[in-house]
Structure 1
């Protein structure tokens, strides 16, 4: 994966480069970040040179509050949470419980996201912080094409490290004050522990067999799975034959 500095954009990176079954995840094909409201024109130009489509996973109120400041790129809105995000704090869900909620309750949206990525255009996936909804979509599609599990988890864990420390601290303090009875509020908006995504993917495998089988069980077709793999995986280069000077 490659972190790319763009003014006004948090956590922007190309997830390509990690090994996958039979090849490597293509670079320049799948990107992730937080919301785009902070982009200036220079940042917008930088994005337009890399991506052709944006997948915005935010709810309507989030999108209205932080408006995407980018023209000239196709944007698909695909709200991933089916309920209020406030309920996660009120009911004191952990990150792992939120991800399980997404996988059980938002399968149609997750399949729609995979279909969009399978189209093969350079695509940026984002939500608000670029951590949870984005993290589940990215981990799901990468796992479905056989990306190295440790690399997938490491990419997820990197997210919190790319959120400025002052923002993480201020957000955690604000949420802890707003939801004093929640034991998890401080973590939900800013943290991305590797063990949480590792456990989420292990639970997915235990229930469905694999990420690919999860997609197939929820309406993805074999042909779409092949298209997703073709979009994301570059075949491994053949090893030089013995005596080949290259």
Structure 2
């Protein structure tokens, strides 16, 4: 699976979701869905490779408005050919607050969180589906409708990205053990991910108070998402139908990822 890594100068956790087996004997199509850590540090060569070589047409940013404000626009924002979509998986709306007021309180890296074990992250992921279903569905709609490759990213490319990717792959018919294997693959890069985020204003203070193992992707966390969606709706396709998608919409996403 590690040959799916996309090596660029300005990030450490990008990989193509193509080449994964599906339950019907097929496989996911390369160049359709790419998962990544944040895109703030891309070089000009990185941008050229993503747009000109890999055919990226759309970017789905799952970070909060506070993160976007603090970190500022990345280099891809200057590429007019790309379409950018912001679908935060964290509800940060407060009637009396602006994005500027939210600060670290709106971020998922707060230093007052409990111990980050597999159960903690599983609860986080289930919270994305329960509290921000419209954002999850909207992110998947971008994947279904894009003319080229879609990059889905958050900060580390692990939790929010992992949740959306797991849903997409479940719709595509990828077996759960393969979805889990892709999720935990981020563990190979976790030290480099933390090193990227630690100097950044949005994440450094909180990460300094955590242990690296707090951020490790554990199989049980993503398994909880897949089990909940299977038991509650018969799978990610059923979850999407319960949240307003038609069967044709679901099939469009499935076809986009597998043909």
If the length of structure 1 is used for normalisation, what is the TM-score?
A: 0.83
Give the Å deviation of 1:209. 1.8
Deviation at 1:166, TM superposition (A): 8.2
After superposition, residues 28-43 of structure 1 pair within 5 angstroms as 28-43=31-46
Is structure 2 residue 58 aligned with structure 1 residue 53? yes
- 1:139 aligned onto 2:166: yes
- Cα shift at 1:154: 0.9
Q: Which runs of 5+ in 2 are unaligned?
A: 93-105
Of 215, 219, 232, the residue aligned with 2:240 is 215
Unaligned runs of 5+ in 1: 179-184, 235-246
Residue 131 of structure 1 deviates from its aligned partner by 0.8
Indicate the structure (1 or 2) with the bigger Cα radius of gyration.
1
Q: Is the 8 A contact 1:7 1:39 kept in 2?
A: yes
2:141 matched residue in structure 1: 115
Among 175, 195, 206, the residue aligned to 2:206: 175
Distance in 2 separating the partners of 1:154 and 1:111:
23
User: 1:53/1:173 Cα in 2 relative to 1: closer, same or farther (>3 Å)?
Assistant: closer
Count of residue pairs brought into register by the alignment: 228
Contact 1:34 1:127 in 2 (8 A): yes
Q: Helix, strand or coil: the match of 2:152?
A: strand
Q: CA deviation at 1:21?
A: 3.3
1:19 to 21, 30, 34: 21
Distance change (3 Å), C-alpha of 1:189 and 1:38:
farther
**1:67-115 CA distance string (max 9 Å, x none):** 3212322211111111423586535371011011111111111111111
User: Given that residues 191 and 212 in structure 2 are in contact (C-alpha distance below 8 angstroms), is that contact kept between their aligned partners in structure 1?
Assistant: no
Which portions of structure 1, spanning 4 or more consecutive aligned residues, are displaced by more than 6 angstroms? none
Kindly report the root-mean-square deviation, in angstroms, between the aligned alpha carbons of the 2 structures.
2.6
Task: Output one character per residue of 1:41-88: Cα deviation in whole Å (capped at 9) or x when no partner.
Answer: 111111112111111111112112333212322211111111423586
Aligned to 2:74: 68
TM-score computed with the length of structure 2 as normaliser: 0.79
Match of 2:130 in 1: 104
